[in-house]
């Protein structure tokens, strides 16, 4: 959410942000609703002040007739005020609905573009593996080694259902353990956060209203979050933090759920795009400084890159174009790991900063040195998401006999050097 004063003073900038992000939003409608809100609020406040003033005079009235005259005049004021208050409630509902749809302003460095096809590579790392055999995709490779069961997974959970088995479970949990160790060494405090969250948490982080169709809702008016970021940001909802404690860095772990409404026909085979997965998420809360936000954005992106480097997984980093940014994001990088079966890259990590967009909605503040209350800035980045991240690991480490080498850094968690059975 942006400040209404900023919106009124920068209407052209809001229009430009909506256009760049391909978001349907008319700032003039919001300004009109805000004008009505201000007008009605001012009128009600004046009538209330008049009512209070007359109440004092009534106490001092000299005659019953004088008192009755003032009561009669105040009855009309009260009726008018009640009518305006009812109208204000309607206007406030419209105003609030428009306010939570205002797009955040993308950074000037964000390139123009309509979709992820127009994201721009800014760097790459690693040597693309060259196989002296025909490599298998993760589906065939994992099924042959009895590491996954899609048929029974679908029987249990429907479309995009899956069951990880045997060595896939060892690999999955090894990645959890390694990610926990890797990122906590970089100063991130681990948290296991709820997946089941209140609506306020999703509104506050910017996933509602724009992404509501992609979120599972329970009969108790609770929602299943698609990332630990939602609960971790709600952790400090309506709190004032000590400036000396900033920045605060968290490593949030949770099961995640997404309906994938907008992805019918995309990645329907395998474990790349599923309804239920687990994720570690880097989260940073810092002072209200653009320079700090940019610095921490680069830091958390570097952390994720070094995680991939330690696993020797080739990747590239792209800066997302305006059309591939969410409503709340100022800037975003995607890190895409090399996937041999695609002969290309697939997204495994994303890294974003939001300025005070989320904190303003969630009312997370701190008191600056001059005593002024400010909203914190927030950032987040995928540390590790499985089962998706199993794909580049098993495909890049596959061997001619159908087995999968265990990455060196994971051997101590798995307890063996090879996954699967030769020539199965």
Q: Which are the catalytic amino acids?
A: 258, 273, 347, 350, 388
**Tokens 């088995």 -> residue:** 165
Largest CA distance in the chain: 107
- SS3 (DSSP) at 14: helix
DSSP code for 424 = -
User: 40-44 contacts: CB < 8 A, separation 24 or more?
Assistant: 40/84, 40/87, 40/88, 40/91, 41/88, 43/84, 44/81, 44/84, 44/85, 44/88
Torsion sign, CA atoms 248, 251, 252, 257:
positive
Buried b (16+ CB within 10 A) or exposed e, 211-242: beeebbeeeeebbbbbbbbbbbbbbbeeeebe
- Spatial contact of 319 and 122, defined as CB atoms under 8 Å apart: yes
101, two tokens: 């749809």
* Cα 152 → chain centroid: 32
What's the CA gap between 256 and 258, in Å, rounded? 7
Q: How many other CB atoms sit within 10 Å of the CB of residue 388?
A: 24
- Spatial contact of 279 and 256, defined as CB atoms under 8 Å apart: yes
Cis geometry, peptide bond prior to residue 401 (ω within 30 degrees of 0): no
- Spatial contact of 419 and 172, defined as CB atoms under 8 Å apart: no
Q: What is the 3-state secondary structure (H, E, C) of 102-135?
A: CCCCCCCCCCCCCCHHHCEEEEEECCCCCCCCCC
Residue-wise DSSP of 365-379: EEE-TTS-EEEPEEE
Q: What are the distances in angstroms from CA 279 to CA 168, 259, 326?
A: 16, 16, 19
What's the CA gap between 40 and 34, in Å, rounded? 10
What's the CA gap between 154 and 157, in Å, rounded? 5
């Amino acid at each position: 959410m942006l400040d209404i004063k900023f919106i009124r003073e920068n209407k052209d900038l809001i229009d430009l942000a909506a256009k760049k992000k391909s978001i349907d939003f008319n700032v003039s409608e919001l300004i009109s609703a805000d004008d009505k809100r201000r007008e009605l609020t001012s009128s009600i406040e004046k009538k209330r002040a008049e009512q209070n003033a007359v109440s004092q005079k009534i106490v001092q009235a000299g005659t019953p007739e004088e008192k009755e005259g003032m009561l009669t005049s105040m009855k009309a004021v009260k009726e008018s005020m009640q009518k305006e208050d009812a109208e204000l409630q309607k206007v406030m509902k419209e105003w609030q609905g428009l306010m939570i749809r205002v797009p955040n302003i993308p950074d000037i460095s964000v390139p123009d573009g309509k979709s992820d096809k127009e994201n721009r590579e800014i760097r790459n790392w690693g040597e693309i593996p060259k196989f002296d055999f025909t490599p298998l995709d993760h589906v065939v490779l994992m099924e042959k080694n009895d590491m996954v069961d899609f048929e029974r997974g679908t029987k249990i959970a429907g479309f995009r259902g899956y069951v990880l088995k045997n060595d896939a479970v060892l690999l999955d949990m090894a990645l959890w353990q390694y990610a926990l160790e890797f990122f906590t060494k970089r100063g991130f405090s681990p948290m296991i956060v709820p997946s089941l969250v209140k609506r306020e948490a999703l509104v506050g982080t910017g996933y509602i209203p724009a992404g509501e169709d992609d979120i599972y809702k329970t009969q108790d008016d609770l929602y299943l979050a698609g990332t630990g970021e939602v609960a971790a940001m709600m952790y400090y909802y309506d709190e004032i933090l000590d400036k000396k404690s900033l920045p605060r860095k968290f490593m949030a772990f949770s099961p995640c759920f997404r309906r994938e409404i907008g992805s019918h026909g995309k990645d329907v085979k395998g474990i790349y795009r599923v309804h239920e997965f687990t994720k570690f998420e880097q989260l940073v809360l810092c002072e209200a400084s653009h320079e700090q936000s940019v610095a921490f954005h680069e830091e958390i992106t570097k952390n994720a890159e070094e995680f991939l480097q330690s696993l020797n997984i080739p990747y590239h980093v792209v800066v997302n174009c305006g059309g591939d940014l969410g409503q709340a994001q100022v800037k975003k990088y995607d890190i895409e790991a090399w996937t041999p079966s695609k002969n290309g890259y697939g997204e495994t990590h994303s890294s974003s900063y939001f300025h005070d967009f989320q904190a303003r909605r969630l009312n997370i503040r701190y008191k600056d040195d001059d005593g002024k209350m400010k909203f914190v800035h927030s950032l987040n980045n995928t540390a590790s998401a499985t089962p998706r991240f199993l794909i580049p690991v098993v495909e890049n480490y596959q061997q001619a006999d159908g087995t999968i080498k265990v990455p060196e850094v994971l051997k101590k968690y798995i307890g063996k050097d090879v996954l699967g059975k030769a020539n199965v």
